[in-house]
Structure 1
Amino acid sequence: MAMPSEGAITPSRLGVYVGPGKTDAVDNSRTWLGRSQMDATDYLDPSENIKWNQYATKYWGDWKKAGADRDFVLGLHLLPKGGNFADGLSGKYDDQFRTLADLMIKNGLGNSVIRPGYEGNNKNIGPWQGTDDPAAYRAMFRKVVTLMRARAGAAFQFDYNMAVGPSGKVTSFETLYPGDNYVDIVGLNIYDVWWQRPAATPSQRWNHSLTTVMGVNDFKEFAAAHKKPKSYPEWGLYQKGDSYAGGGDSPYFIDRMAELVQDSEYQAYFDHDWGGGTLDDFPNGKEQYRVRFGG
C-alpha cells in the first residue's frame, strides 16, 4: 500500500545531469516537470582548459544568466588526466585549477557548487580515488579548494561528496574528510543497487542503502557531527541484469528518495546512461518522479 506522502510533491531544490554541456536538455527536463526552478550539473577535468572547459563554462554561464533561480553544480576531477597525487601536491597542476576557476568566474559561475574529487571512496572513479592513499586525497582536496577560493571574484561552495559504501582504506566518511574549513556541504551519491543481490526486494535494497557502512544513516550522523548541510548530487534508478543488481523500474525507490532529499541543500537526478539506463527506460519510475518532483 502506498504511503500518504507518495502522492505529494517533494519540496526540495532540484537539479539534473543530462550530459556534457546539454543546456537544452536541462530546459526540456524543466518544461516536462512544469517547474520554474531547475539546477544543472556537469563534470570537468582541469586539464581540458584550452578546449572543452572554455566552451562548457560559456554554455553553462549563458544558461544560468538566461533564467531566474538557476544554480550550477560542477563535479571536478581532483587530478587531471594522467595525473598523480605526488605531482599534484608538488604544484604541477596548480595553474590548471586556477585557470578553471577564472573561467567559471568570467562566465558568471563564480558562485557555483564544486564537488572536488567526487566519489573518492570509489576505487574505479579515476586517478583521484582515495582508497589507496587517503592522506594524499585529503591534502589534494585542501590544495584545490585553497587555489580556487583565492581567485578574484570567487564565491564557490565546496561539496565533500562520497558514494555509498566503504572501499579499501576508506572505512568511514571521516577517512577522506579534509577538514571543516575546506568543506561547505557534504554529499552522498545513491543508486538503486545492491551489489550481486539481484533477488533483493525494493525495500531490502533501500534498507541496505540506509544501514550499510557509509550508508544513509552514517551519512546523516556525519553531517550532523560536522554541522554541514547535506546534498545528494547524484541519484537514480538502475536497470536489472548486471552485477550492480539494480532494481529496475522502481517507483518505490523514487518515493524513498523524495522523502530523503527534503532537507537537502540540493539534489540531482543522474539522467544520463552510465550503464544503468535513463528515466526513459523506467516508465513507472519516470511517472512517479514527475508526481514527486513536478511543479
Structure 2
Amino acid sequence: MTDGTPRVGIYLGTAAIPAVDAFASWLGRGQLDATDYTDPADAESDQADANGAAWTPVMSDRWGGWAAAAPDADNRRFILGLPLTPKPDGSLAEVAAGLHDGLFDATAAALVAHGLTDTVVRLGYEPNNPGIGPWHGTTDPAVYRAAFRRAVFVLRSVTGGRFTVELDQAVGPAGAATSFDVLYPGDDVVDIVGLNIYDVWWGTTASPAERWTYIHDRPMGIADFLAFAGHLGKPLAFPEWGLYRPGDPYHGGGDNPDFITRMADLFTSSNAVFQSYFAADWGGGTLDDFPTGKAAYRAAFGAAGG
C-alpha cells in the first residue's frame, strides 16, 4: 500500500485461486495478496535434477494469471514460501556449495515468465523451528546462512526478476538458534525480516491476555523481534499468523477475537509492510472455525482497508 497501511495477504491452500478470490469478495477489499508454497519433492519426481533434487509444482502459471487479472496492478502480489533444501532429506551444505543452483534458477525464471516479477520470496522460512524441514538452522546456523546467501545469489541473477527476499522466523528459540541474529545471513541478501505468530502457548492453559504477554515478552518473541528489526533498520512483516484451536499440546486460544485485535494494532504500530493470515488447517483450524474471531478479522481488515 502506498499510504503506509500494511498490505493484507491470505493463505488458503495450494493454488487455491478461487478460494482467494472468494475471500477477497467476502472481505470487500480491493487489495489482497496471496501466499503459496513449493515444497521438496522426492527424488523419483519427473522434475528431479541430476542430484535427485526437485520442487513440487509452484503453479506460477496459475498465480501469474491471477495477478494479471487485477484491474489495478498493485492490488495483487504473490508471496512464495521457498524452502532451502530441494528434497525431503536435503542438505544445506549441498545448497551452499551450489549443487542445486539450477532449481533456484528455474523457480525464478518461471516466476518471471508468468509475470510474477515482484514476488516476495520467503526463503528458508522458520529456520529456528527444527520441525519445519531439513532446511532448519537450529543445529548448524553457519551452513544455513551460507545456503541462504547462495540461493539469493542465484535468484537475483535471473534477468527480469525484482524479487523481495524475506527471512521470517518463528516465535521462540530452539537449539543453536538462540536469538534472531544467529540465523541472519546479512543485510545484502535480506530485504524484509518477518515473524510468524500463532495464538499458542505450548503446554500452558492461559487467558487471552496472559497468552499475549507470553508471546510478546518471551525470548525471541514480539518485543525481541521489533528490537531486532529496529537495530537492522529493515522493513518488517508478519507473513504467517493465526488463531489456533484448543485441546492439544499447543494450547491454542480458540475463538479469540482479542488476538485478532492485538495483531491488527501490532501491524499498524510496527509499520509492517505486509501481513498474511494462515487460513489453511495445519492442525489449528481455519477462520471458519472461529466465528467471533472471523468477525473481528473482517472488522479489522475489511472494506475500509481496501
TM-score class, shorter:
over 0.9
Q: Which amino acid aligns with 1:223?
A: A
- Inter-partner Cα distance in structure 2 for 1:34 and 1:99: 36
- Alignment map for 1:41-120 (pairs within 5 Å): 41-45=35-39, 50=47, 56-67=59-70, 68=72, 69-81=75-87, 82-120=89-127
Aligned to 1:121: 128
Moved over 4 A (4+): 46-49, 51-55
Verify: 1:216 aligned to 2:222, yes or no.
yes
Equivalent position to 1:289, from 285, 292, 297: 297
Which amino acid is 1:63 matched to? W
Cα deviation for residue 86 of structure 1 reads 2.2
Alpha-carbon displacement from aligned partner over 1:162-189 (angstroms, at most 9, x marks no partner): 0000000001000000000000000000
What do residues 200-250 of structure 1 show as CA deviations (whole Å, max 9, x unaligned)?
A: 100011011110111110101111111101100000000000000100000
Show the 5 A alignment for 1:143-182: 143-182=150-189
* Secondary structure at the counterpart of residue 15 of structure 1: strand
Distance in 1 separating the partners of 2:246 and 2:27 = 26
| 8 Å Cα contact 1:49/1:96 also seen in 2 | no
Distance (Å, rounded) in 1 between the aligned partners of 2:197 and 2:174: 15
**CA contact under 8 A between 1:54 and 1:103: conserved in structure 2?**
no
Q: Match of 1:207?
A: 213
Rate the CA distance shift 1:45–1:203 in 2: closer, same or farther, 3 A. same
Secondary structure at 2:22 match in 1 = helix
Give the structure 2 partner of residue 30 of structure 1.
Answer: 24
Where 1:257 maps in the other structure, the secondary structure is helix
* SS at structure 1 position matched to 2:122: strand
Q: Which runs of 5+ in 1 are unaligned?
A: 1-9
**Structure 1 Cα separation of the partners of residues 60 and 109 of structure 2:** 10
Deviation at 1:89, TM superposition (A): 2.0
Paired with 1:106 and 1:31, the residues of 2 have a C-alpha distance of: 28
Length-normalised TM-score, structure 1: 0.93
Higher helix content, 1 or 2: 1
Alpha-carbon separation, structure 1, partners of 2:250 and 2:105: 37
Residue identity matched to 1:135: A
Opposite residue 20 of structure 1, the aligned amino acid is T
Instruction: Structure 2: give runs of 5+ residues left out of the alignment.
Output: 48-53
| Paired position in structure 2 for 1:243 | 249
Task: Give the direction of change, closer, same or farther, for the CA distance of 1:86–1:238 in structure 2 (3 Å limit).
Answer: same
Query: Are 1:130 and 1:176, in contact at CA under 8 Å, matched by a contact in 2?
Result: yes
Aligned CA-pair RMSD? 1.6
Q: Secondary structure at the match of 2:295?
A: helix
In the TM superposition, residue 110 of structure 1 has moved relative to its aligned partner by: 1.6
Structure 2: distance between partners of 1:279 and 1:54: 26
Alignment: residue pair count: 285
- The corresponding residue for 1:264 is 272
**Closer, same or farther: CA 225–49 of 1 in aligned 2, 3 Å:** farther
The residue matched to 1:288 in structure 2 has which SS? helix
Corresponding residue number in structure 2 for 1:6: none
**Residue-by-residue CA offset, 1:66-89 (whole Å, 9 max, x unaligned):** 002111111101111121122222
Q: Decide which of 14, 18, 31 is 2:12's aligned counterpart.
A: 18
**Do the aligned residues in 2 keep the contact of 1:49 with 1:99 (CA within 8 Å)?**
no
Q: Distance in 1 between matches of 2:297 and 2:256?
A: 10
Q: Percent of pairs identical after alignment?
A: 50
Deviations 1:19-76 (A, max 9, x none): 0001111111100011111000000136579497666100111100000211111110
